[in-house]
């Protein structure tokens, strides 16, 4: 144990002197700004235009920063989205007649989402007059605390005691060494590479919980796993209860995207759905200056000239690209297209050096895919069965994983209603499986080949409630499978140079945002990453003298490290 203590202490020392940290506080942030008399409003931008590619959270955040901090008129900001619904991976749609749908489910975190909370502290709530979205979410979360009582369930339907992480001493030491190993030495390494001499690591309670909370695979990038271990070290001691998960009142579209969209619309921002940006032109041989934007919509191809004074901000990749949907009786079909956003990035990278390398992320769909499903029912029979099994009322359990299921299936039962338009006599929950090619334990087909009914049947057997299956089926409105070939692409093994900088060297008017650009120490697959990259892009391109909230270094705090070490020995 003394050796492990020295390694964890070295992790703290290598990061620098210990600092006293404080939880994000909107009021404290504003008071600090006022006390320093910092003026963030930029000088008049005149007729300068901003072209933003992609309609996800990062793009909408960039537009909000342009309005709020940079003096842009909304009419001069143009956001292009290929789909007919904004939000990217923060989606939510449907109705009580045909079933509701969330392709993904975004978890928030109060401590590590610094820029996310700052931005949404200035976005008005749609339901609480005089309150911000940040205030609305944090108030709802405080009133609906998370404490999972059935985090892992075994093949016999037994709820496991997961208070122990299950590590051997050798595994503890391997984790400690990883924390102090420089990222520069981890090019192209996978998690499996690092733990090759300790294969039992992948049987521990820790791995089953960490994997399914964040969607890691054994073949995922060691870079990203290390960053999560450092960035989310506060979650390590509470991973078995997921008490650190911050929940919205509704799904991510209704709670996060819709109020942000309404804010932008109120300021006159042009939100252009159903339009795909297919390419960008660059001016001259030297530097990186966007001169034209090419796009395609229902009316065909068109081009827009871009002045050197204009700015262009591009989302380099979308995790829900090329996703397909099934229904209760039909599997989600195999996708026919490649990652649209990834293809745009590839075109740009081929034209100019310094724009990264998309190929490690988008070439192995057998590694980057998984499948989600959204269940819509009349009444609450199924939710009551799950509540009785888990001991968690809807919204309090966060995530329940069937540890031994061949699909590595998990479900999330959120507080009801989960959609603004959801009737009181309708219930909705969401789930996913990480291994879509594997044969189900009860439905003897790969998950990706299963209809919604078959996925529901597998779930009911994992719950050992097959005797209730027919009664539950009678209540079902729809079960919508969603196959996402690139949902884990950001976790693919890579070199340090494969992800480009937010504003590449030599760029005069191009910024890159989203989950495939590089921001030191932060972790991809989060709302915070999208907002942070957007903020960096806007401030850098326009020379705005305002700080971006830094990554809070919880991994340097001795108390946090001590708690993590204690957890490792549980």
What's the rounded Cα separation, in Å, for the pair 310 and 512? Answer: 15
Report the distance separating Cα 113 and Cα 90, nearest Å.
Answer: 16
Question: Which structure tokens are listed for 490?
Answer: 């950001």
Compute the distance between CA of residue 298 and CA of residue 236 in angstroms, rounded to an integer. 48
Cβ atoms 459, 469 nearer than 8 A: no
Q: Would you call 507 helix, strand, or coil by DSSP? A: strand
184: Cβ–Cβ under 8 A, 6 or more apart, which residues?
496
Instruction: Reply yes or no on whether 435 is catalytic.
Output: no
List helix spans (H) across 290-423: 340-351, 359-362, 365-368, 381-390
Q: For residues 407 and 430, give the distance between their C-alpha atoms in angstroms, rounded to a whole number.
A: 15
DSSP annotation of 327: B
Cα 499 off chain centre by: 17
3-state secondary structure 387-429: HHHHCCCCCCCCCEEECCCCCCEEEECCCCCCCCCCCCCEEEE
Indicate left, alpha or beta for 111 from its phi (over 0: left) and psi (-120 to 50: alpha). alpha
CA distances from 10 to 54, 252, 301, 555, 558 (A): 42, 39, 57, 11, 11
Tokens 């693919």 label which residue?
492
Burial class (CB in 10 A: 0-12, 13-18, 19+), 284: exposed
Output phi, psi for 152, to 5 deg. Answer: -125, 135
DSSP string, 135-189: HHHHHHHHHS----S-SEE-TTSPBP--SS----HHHHHHHHHHHHS-GGG-TT-
Q: Which of 51, 65, 113, 228 is catalytic?
A: 228
Cβ contacts of 45 within 8 Å, gap of 6 or more: 70, 71, 72, 73, 76
The residues pairing with 94 across neighbouring beta strands, listed in sequence order, are 100
Contact 72, 341 (CB under 8 A): no
Quick check: 469 and 478 in contact, CB under 8 A? Answer: no
Instruction: Indicate which residues carry an active-site annotation.
Output: 228
């Amino acid at each position: 144990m003394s050796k492990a203590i020295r390694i964890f202490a070295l992790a703290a020392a290598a990061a620098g002197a210990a600092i006293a940290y404080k939880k994000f506080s909107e009021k404290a942030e504003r008071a600090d700004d006022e006390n320093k008399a910092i003026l963030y409003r930029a000088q008049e931008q005149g007729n300068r235009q901003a072209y933003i590619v992609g309609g996800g959270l990062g793009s909408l955040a960039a537009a909000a920063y342009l309005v709020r901090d940079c003096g842009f008129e909304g009419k001069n900001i143009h956001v292009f989205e290929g789909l007919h619904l904004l939000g990217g991976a923060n989606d939510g749609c449907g109705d009580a007649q045909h079933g509701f749908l969330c392709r993904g489910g975004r978890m928030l975190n109060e401590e590590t989402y610094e820029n996310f909370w700052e931005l949404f502290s200035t976005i008005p709530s749609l339901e609480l007059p005089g309150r911000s979205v940040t205030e609305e979410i944090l108030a709802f979360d405080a009133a609906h605390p998370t404490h999972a009582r059935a985090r892992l369930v075994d093949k016999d339907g037994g709820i496991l005691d997961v208070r122990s992480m299950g590590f051997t001493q050798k595994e503890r030491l391997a984790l400690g060494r990883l924390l102090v190993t420089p990222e520069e030495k981890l090019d192209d390494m996978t998690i499996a590479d690092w733990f090759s001499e300790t294969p039992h690591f992948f049987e521990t309670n820790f791995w089953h919980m960490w994997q399914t909370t964040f969607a890691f695979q054994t073949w995922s990038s060691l870079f990203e796993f290390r960053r999560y271990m450092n960035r989310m070290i506060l979650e390590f001691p509470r991973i078995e209860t997921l008490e650190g998960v911050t929940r919205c009142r509704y799904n991510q579209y209704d709670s996060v995207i819709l109020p942000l969209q309404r804010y932008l619309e109120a300021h006159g921002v042009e939100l252009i759905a159903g339009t795909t940006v297919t390419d960008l032109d660059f001016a001259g041989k030297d530097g990186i200056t966007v001169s034209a934007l090419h796009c395609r919509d229902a009316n065909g191809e068109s081009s827009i000239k871009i002045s050197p004074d204009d700015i262009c901000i591009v989302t380099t990749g979308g995790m829900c690209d090329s996703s397909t949907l099934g229904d209760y009786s039909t599997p989600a079909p195999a996708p026919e297209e490649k990652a649209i956003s990834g293809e745009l990035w590839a075109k740009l990278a081929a034209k100019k050096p310094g724009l990264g390398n998309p190929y490690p992320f988008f070439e192995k769909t057998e590694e980057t895919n998984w499948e989600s499903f959204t269940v819509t029912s009349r009444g609450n029979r199924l939710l009551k069965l799950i509540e009785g099994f888990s001991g968690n009322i809807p919204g309090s359990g966060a995530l329940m994983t069937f540890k031994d299921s061949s699909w590595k299936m998990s479900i999330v039962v959120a507080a009801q209603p989960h959609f603004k338009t959801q009737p009181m006599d309708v219930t909705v929950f969401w789930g996913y499986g990480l291994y879509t090619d594997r044969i189900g334990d009860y439905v003897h087909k790969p998950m990706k080949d299963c209809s919604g009914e078959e996925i529901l049947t597998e779930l009911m057997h994992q719950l050992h409630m097959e005797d209730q299956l027919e009664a539950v089926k009678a209540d079902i409105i729809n079960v919508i499978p969603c196959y996402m070939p690139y949902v884990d692409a950001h976790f693919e093994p890579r070199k340090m140079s494969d992800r480009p900088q937010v504003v590449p060297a030599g760029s005069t008017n191009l910024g890159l945002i989203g989950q495939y650009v590089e921001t030191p120490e932060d972790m991809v697959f989060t709302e915070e990453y999208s907002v942070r990259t957007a903020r960096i892009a806007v401030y850098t391109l326009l020379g705005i003298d305002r700080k971006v909230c830094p990554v809070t270094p919880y991994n340097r705090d001795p108390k946090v490290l001590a708690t993590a070490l204690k957890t490792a020995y549980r």
